[in-house]
Structure 1
Amino acid sequence: MSREPTLRDVADWWGTAVSRVEPGVIELRGRPVQDLIGATSLPGVIWLMLRGEPPTPGQERLLEAALVSSVDHGPHAPSIAAARMAATCGIGLNSAVATGVNLLGDVHGGAGEQCVTLLREISDRAAGGADMDDAAAEVTTAWRARSKYLPGFGHRFHPRDPRRDPLIALVEQAVADGTVRGDHLRAALAVERLLAAGRDRPVPINIDGCTAVIYGELGFPPPLARGLFVLSRSVGILAHAWEETGQGRRNKGPMPPSVLPTHLGETP
């Protein structure tokens, strides 16, 4: 016969090392929030909450750069377009932001997570003794056998993503400083070389690939790469949703009212 649950059972049910909140006490990973306020940046707190300890200055700079780089990509991005439409439907700003965030899935928003996995497979194979270029060729061949899409490389909009060079330069500097090892960076550059071979137009690393390099170098598991992207893109989603609320539209659709979608059915 089962016993009645006690207060301790209930408290243990929600046991957590992330935070402690009691009357007069708020601690994040064991650190009083009043000691963090004004002394720790938002990227520093994000690291603390996810990893359980503060980042080094170099780690914090890399994380901040990745978060800044992914904030927005305009209404071309479905998540932002959806949030803007939702903001005109009377559902409130929080629901408009949630609408945009909920579109961040495997296809739109998941490439960073997938690319961390790809780069990890390559760097692990190279760590086992394989040449990095050979490892990149073998792993990308296996990925392409499953899907023609290779996450983290090429861009449907930018011939060369303007965020690539500054992010890669920051990682290269972090490698030189000893902040990170550089395995994921070398793997990404090996894939980039592979994709450029024999082509008039190369296929550079895109924003998903650059941030995957950073999150991989910083030791974040692949699923957290997507979670961190969601945090970053939420800022742009919020800004666009808020702007839309001030433009006076109601029930905004995906195209102007004067444009009618092509009818594909039979005409009587």
Structure 2
Amino acid sequence: MTDDALAAVTAWWATAITRIQPGEIAFRGRPVQDLIGTTGFVDTIWLLVTGGDLEPARRRLLEATLVASVDHGPQAPSIASARMAATCGVGINSAMANGINVLGDTHGGAGQQCVALLGRMVREHREHGRDWDDLAADEIGRYRARGAFVPGFGHRFHPVDPRRNPLLSLVEQAAASGDVEGDHLRAGLAIERALASRGVPMNIDGISATVYGELGVEPELARGLFVLARSVGILAHAWEESSSGRRIKGPLPPPLLADYTGPDVPER
């Protein structure tokens, strides 16, 4: 093989993330043996994904957001899907994949969409100095014009999402101390004010989007971090269900059956 051909082969999966050699593993240039026991999991996530380090206040924000996102109970489709899969004889990895693959634009995508929304407001404010409340009114108007929900606000189950206040408090503290700029926070609160008359407060997706925006996380990567966090709950529920001894557990407990809405069946 020529040198050029060899170089083309080794460049095929070129990466700036992990260096692997016999007897060597390094993440972003840092030997794994130097990270083990000295670097927390959240810092390692950030290092691998972004190549950077987290200051203490920013680490606290990311860790709190990941903790807040780990689970929402067996009624969540991603969790229910994993639990059903676990009763069908698949391994834990397949049950987890089943749950993770349910996380799409509708169930699991609002955080990404909200990061994009807040980002648009922040850019418009910085470039043109527009008022936050005017920006919020414009954004809400666009969603209403197409009959869509404003992502990150309101919750089908919680009148007030119990994860909102503690995370909001942490972001406010970080903004007050200068650890984050605070513009995504201002944008999120402006949307919340505009929706207050409808009783639609910020939910976990909205406050998470605020954190991710303040940390400089791109919208799609924010969804990836949410999926990473929710994988913990998916694992826990799949493992619990796999230990129940129940086989082929469907969406309805027996002997209940789903309502039939098709044409009448002829009597025999």
Q: Could you state the TM-score of these two structures normalised by the residue count of structure 1?
A: 0.95
Pair 47,4 (structure 1): closer, same or farther in 2 beyond 3 Å: closer
For 1:180 and 1:188, the matched residues in 2 are separated by 14
Sequence identity, in percent?
61
Q: Which runs of 4+ in 1 moved over 3 A?
A: none
Instruction: Show the 5 A alignment for 1:20-35.
Output: 20-35=19-34
2:258 aligned with 1:261: yes
After superposition, the C-alpha distances for 1:248-268 in whole angstroms (9 at most, x for unaligned) are: 110100010111111111222
For 2:119 and 2:13, the matched residues in 1 are separated by 33
Pair 21,150 (structure 1): closer, same or farther in 2 beyond 3 Å: same
After superposition, the C-alpha distances for 1:65-109 in whole angstroms (9 at most, x for unaligned) are: 110000000011100000000000111100000000000100001
1:168 maps to 168
Counterpart residue type for residue 238 of structure 1: L
Pair 4,11 (structure 1): closer, same or farther in 2 beyond 3 Å: closer
Instruction: Show the 5 A alignment for 1:1-268.
Output: 6-127=5-126, 128-197=128-197, 199=198, 202-267=199-264, 268=266
For 1:120 and 1:233, the matched residues in 2 are separated by 24
Counterpart residue type for residue 124 of structure 1: R
* Aligned residue pair count: 263
For 1:38 and 1:118, the matched residues in 2 are separated by 39
**Residue 5 of structure 1, CA deviation:** 6.8
The alignment partner of 1:266 has SS state of coil
Structure 1 window deviating more from structure 2 (174-183 vs 158-167): it is: 174-183
After superposition, the C-alpha distances for 1:185-208 in whole angstroms (9 at most, x for unaligned) are: 1111101110013x4xx2110000
**Residue 147 of structure 1, CA deviation:** 3.9
For 1:147 and 1:217, the matched residues in 2 are separated by 29
Q: Could you state the TM-score of these two structures normalised by the residue count of structure 2?
A: 0.95
**Residue 131 of structure 1, CA deviation:** 0.7
For 1:21 and 1:147, the matched residues in 2 are separated by 51
For 2:39 and 2:200, the matched residues in 1 are separated by 38
**Residue 144 of structure 1, CA deviation:** 2.5
After superposition, the C-alpha distances for 1:7-56 in whole angstroms (9 at most, x for unaligned) are: 22111111110110110110001100111111111110011111112211
